[in-house]
Chains A and B, each alone.
Chain A
Amino acid sequence: MQADGTLAALRAQSTGDPDSEALARAARGGDLDAFEGLVRRYQRRVYALAYQHLRDPDEAQDLAQEVFVRLYRNLDRYDPSRPFQPWFWRLAVNVAATYRRHRPAAAVELPDVAAAVETAPEESLPLERALADLSDDLRLPVLLHYYLDLPLDEIALSMGLSLSAVKSRLHRARALLRRLLVEEE
């Protein structure tokens, strides 16, 4: 079962990852095993992002699957001379952003979150609710930076924003989250 330490270890591992570049180059040449390697390397983080973004395990699986299928279809557009991660997260963010647009806004229900997440402390549920109340353009940079530990410049590239715009969104998101958490109390 998911432990926070596992995700943290993956965060530390996947920044500046030459193995990902090698796998991407091979997958680009049609090597399906290499593509599977890429999926195995990133699926936990992608699924975690999708889950925190959508708050529904089935929708998260659907979104995560869509991210990797889109990766497969667009591998030809990856420039092997450049780092793979920023390009990959840009693709993932685009898929996540457009995924919500094509889905009707569902009421946020968290009946099974505590059951699904082994070590969720009591105070994380209001935080998850507060995150769900954020708009997509505020939630995504929050998740990318604080949850997946992506650096700000990479997030800016992924979202097609300036660095100052990303910082501004993070500030607004944090202020809004604090207000929502205070209201929750």
Chain B
Amino acid sequence: MAAICIQVRAQLEALIDGEVATDLDARLRAHLADCPGCRAHHAEATSLPARIGALGSPEPPAALLDGILRRVQGEKIGPLHLWGPLVVELLLAVVAVWYVSGLQGLSLLVQRTASDVGSLIGWGAGLSELPAPAAGDVFLLLVCGLLMVTTLYHLTLLARLGPRFS
């Protein structure tokens, strides 16, 4: 293949898109008029967009729409689903507050916790025994753990609604 043909064929895409300067356009077309090989390439390049546009595809299956609607309906969050966890959260919060016997109980709990932390540090320094957790603290820990899990789940539901929720 002549060097000129290599150069011309490299410019064919730009020529088809009308992105070459006028004088270059004229020279390219003059070469195409004289060169059957490059002319064939030009015809091929010109026809390519039309051939791509004419490609056929099968019809979308009926199951496509059904599948889409099934999935999005499964993602809809009803009011019971959305506000149900709030009832559980309130219940757990009431249990926790009742268990610590109100504010006074909460204050005692904080004091006990601080004392345990001090004992733990002492144990680490080899100065005291490891404090044994009170059975009640384990129960309270369980209730607070459940409350946290429920609240996190509830927050994910609210986040999925996003601005729609407002």
Contact = CB atoms under 8 A, between A and B. Distances in A.
How would you classify the secondary structure of chain A's contact residues: helix, strand, loop or mixed? helix
A40 B57 CA distance: 17
A178 B56 contact: no
Contacts, number: 115
Contact of B48 (A2, A118, A178): A178
Contact of A40 (B12, B14, B56, B65): B65
B55 A52 contact: yes
Nearest to B14: A171
B68 interface: yes
A119 B44 contact: no
Interface centre among A3, A118, A120, A146 (most CB of B within 10 A): A146
Nearest to B161: A76
Nearest to A143: B52
**How many interface residues does chain A have, given as a range?**
35 or more
B57 A48 contact: yes
Interface in A95-128: 116-121, 123-124, 127-128
Given A36-B65, A72-B72, A181-B44, A4 B56 contact: yes
A131 B56 CA distance: 13
A19 to B, nearest CB: 18
Given A124-B51, A175-B13, A43 B44 contact: no
B45 interface: yes
